[in-house]
Amino acid sequence: MAPLSFLTIAAASLLSYCNAAAIEPRQSSSQYTYVNLAVNTGTSVHRASGVLYGVPDVQGQIPSSFYTGMGFNYLSAGGAQDPAATGWIYGGYTTRFLEIVSNYETARSYGAQFILKMSDIWGADGTQATTAEWPGDNGSYTEFDRFLAQLVSDLKANSMTAGLKILIWNEPDLGTVFWYPGFTRYLAMWNHAVTYLRFVPASLPSMTFIVPEIAQLTRTNLPGVPIAGPAFANPPSTSNSWWTGWLSNIKSSGTAPDVYDWHLEGDVRITNSADDLQTTQPILVSMLESYGLVVGEFIIDEYGTSGEQVPSGAAWWISRLERFNMYGLRGNWASGAQLHDFLAGLLGKTNVNSATGTGYFANGEYNVYHYYATTMTGYRVQTTGSTDRLMDCYAVVGSNTVRILVGGRLTTGTYELVIDSISSLGLATSGTITVHTYQFAYAGVYTASPMTDLGTVAHTYTGNTLSFPIYQTSTTTTWAFEFPF
CB 51 within 8 A of CB 329: yes
In the predicted model, residues of the chain with pLDDT beneath 70 are: 1-29, 200-220, 268-272
Its pTM stands at 0.91
pLDDT for the residue 221? 83
Helices (H), 206-307: 212-215, 241-253, 277-290
> Residue 450, class by beta-carbon neighbours within 10 Å (0-12 exposed, 13-18 middle, 19+ buried)?
middle
Cα-only R_g, the chain: 24
The residues facing 393 across adjacent strands are 406
> Element (H or E) spanning 104, and its range?
helix 93-109
Q: How far is CA 169 from CA 119, 258, 348, in A?
A: 5, 15, 30
pLDDT for the residue 28? 60
